[in-house]
Chain A
Amino acid sequence: MKSLEVRGLRKSYAGAEVVCGVDLEVAPGECFGLLGPNGAGKTTTLRLCLGLSDPDAGEIQLLGHAVPERAREARAQVGVVPQFDNLDPDFSVAENLTVYGRYFGLGRAQIAPRIPQLLEFAGLAGRSEAKIQTLSGGMKRRLTLARALVNDPRMLFMDEPTTGLDPQARHLIWERLRRLTQEGRTLLLTTHFMEEAQRLCSRVAIMDHGRIIAQGTPRELIARHLESQVVEVHGPGVEAWMAEAKTRASRTELAGETAFCYADEVEPLIASLHARPELVYLHRPANLEDLFLKLTGRDLRD
């Protein structure tokens, strides 16, 4: 049985369709990434899957329960890390966990023995009495993650779990998420950090304008849609050099002042660049971000 199965999901707000026929499958134990620019419909899709809003059409099965009809039963086995922290500012760190456990029907006696473990996991051991206002952004995120684990969930929903965090805090969250997958929990996360998706996710779906436009493992998606290598070039005269680049790369693109050249064999490009010392270049393997930009375009989204 799949952990999450979604068929033909649709949702409109005020006449505008924001989720337009989404199909998704998440297998037990996998870390699945839902990627997309702002406004692609990622958060709405998560809300629908959790039964927090009713779809206009489509079927959802979450951990074997039909949603929204049996969303309460489904959510009892799910943990949620929302996009914006909504920890209770009136409570201490430990009280946040105790009170949240009550919403799952867990009494103090059931939660109290788990609190040290959860705080250890969140890197907040010894801070159980700290006030929420005294925590850094990274600490709050980790506490939110620990709070999502009070019910020992089989599956976690995370909406942009590392947005707004510094690299140290982000790496710590990544490490914790890997630990959760190793424990056999299923993860569904949304992100627009391609690096995050590439590091964590066994499978990803790219969503834009309410539709899934590509789905697979990061490696297979890159192989399917892109050349293996990228050379990024900038500097005076880069536009003039483009004509030459076009003959040596399978695909080129000029974004502002920077040329992106995609090729499986990059030696001809590099040779041409050696003749032009004024141009600065970076040679790297193609990644998920290249794929994302190819599929969703370089235009700004707000």
Chain B
Amino acid sequence: MRSRYALPALSLRFVAVWQRHFLVWRKLAIPSILGNLADPLIVLFGLGYGLGAALGQVGGSSYFGFLAGGFLASTTMYAATFESLFSAYSRMHVQKTWEAIVNAPMTLEDVLAGEWVWAASKAFAAGVCLLAIVAAAGQASFPLALATVPVAVLIGLTFAALGLSINALASGYDFFSYYMTLLLTPMMMLSGVFFPVERLPEAVQAVAWALPLYHGVELARPLLAGSLPAQPLLNLAVLAGYALAGFYLATVLTRRRLLT
């Protein structure tokens, strides 16, 4: 008897699930990228240049440069989150795509791993686009800025895993607005996307250190500006820990939802 709490048994079969999602995305790639990027870009340029003119230097650079690093982390977070919430829920619950897949010699773990890596791929695409735009605005310092791309993938894996856990608990699309409004939006405020975390009271800073997005920002911002992060191993370890624990949680919760 397979236990609900067993570690996910991963196989390379998940690639077929990833390919399915890629094929669908390819049909709508341009509108999808524009849709995902329009909102963050408007805010980045609006705040970066508008508010930046009033603020002057923040954290030793222009406000636009400061904000770009934070936005790279939060945009990839949202890209992976949308995919693992709304899109995954459509495939799981509305279109019954998952059900069709597990009737073939595929397991629920294959489906979840496919969703996980796919959502991280969307984060990768969003990260690359944002990097290109920031570079075009002359605010990225190469070659180190290129290291933000694997960081975007790791942020994607982290928030895709958390999103899939939420997906397994969802009773409808409305359920996701609680997660986005009550967890992700405050996290964005606390993680140093818009302003340095050092400006916050110490107790609040301690909360920020426990949040995955904070560690994503701590990596992305210096790399984009061409310097090394202060504690890269710690940041990577926290993100990887959230990603792996989140995927395990998603596996257990999805088994509970679909296999009983």
Contact = CB atoms under 8 A, between A and B. Distances in A.
Best-surrounded residue of B2, B16, B19, B104 (most CB of chain A within 10 A):
B104
Contacts of A53: 259-260
Nearest to B27: A90
Given A68-B2, A88-B20, A91-B24, A103 B104 contact: yes
Contacts of B19: 99, 102
Interface in A70-100: 72-73, 75-76, 80, 82, 84, 86-91, 95, 99-100
A172 interface: no
Contacts of A76: 105
B29 interface: no
Contacts, number: 63
Q: Is the interface of B mostly helix, strand, loop or mixed?
A: helix
A68 to B, nearest CB: 7
Given A91-B23, A99-B20, A105-B13, A82 B100 contact: yes
A84 B96 contact: yes
Contact of B106 (A88, A91, A103): A103
B95 A54 contact: no
Given A102-B19, A103-B105, A105-B13, A88 B97 contact: yes
A104 B104 contact: yes
A50 interface: yes
Interface residues of B, number: 24
Interface residues of A, number: 27
Interface string B6-47: 000000010011011001100100000000000000000000
B27 A86 contact: no
A105 B23 CA distance: 17
Contacts of B97: 86, 88
Contact of A88 (B100, B102, B104): B100
A290 B173 CA distance: 46
Contacts of A68: 2
A190 B13 CA distance: 30
B101 interface: yes
Given A54-B2, A99-B20, A99-B23, A82 B99 contact: yes
A122 B88 CA distance: 30
A13 B260 contact: yes
Interface string A95-119: 1000110111100000000000000
B103 to A, nearest CB: 4
B19 to A, nearest CB: 6
A52 interface: yes
A105 B2 CA distance: 24
Given A91-B24, A102-B20, A105-B13, A80 B95 contact: no
B107 interface: yes
A40 B17 CA distance: 33
Contacts of B102: 52
A100 B95 contact: no
B24 A90 contact: yes
B230 interface: no
B97 to A, nearest CB: 6
A20 to B, nearest CB: 17
Contact of A75 (B17, B96, B105, B259): B105
Contact of B101 (A50, A89, A103): A103
Contacts of A91: 23-24
A103 B24 contact: no
B20 A72 contact: no
B100 A86 contact: yes
Interface in B96-126: 96-97, 99-107
Interface of B: 1-2, 13, 16-17, 19-20, 23-24, 27, 95-97, 99-107, 259-260
Given A86-B97, A86-B100, A103-B16, 17 more contacts: A53-B259, A54-B1, A54-B2, A68-B2, A72-B105, A75-B104, A82-B96, A82-B99, A84-B96, A88-B20, A88-B24, A88-B95, A89-B95, A99-B23, A102-B16, A104-B104, A105-B13
19 contacts: A52-B259, A53-B259, A73-B105, A75-B103, A75-B104, A75-B105, A80-B103, A82-B96, A82-B99, A82-B100, A86-B95, A86-B100, A88-B24, A88-B97, A88-B100, A99-B20, A103-B13, A105-B16, A151-B104
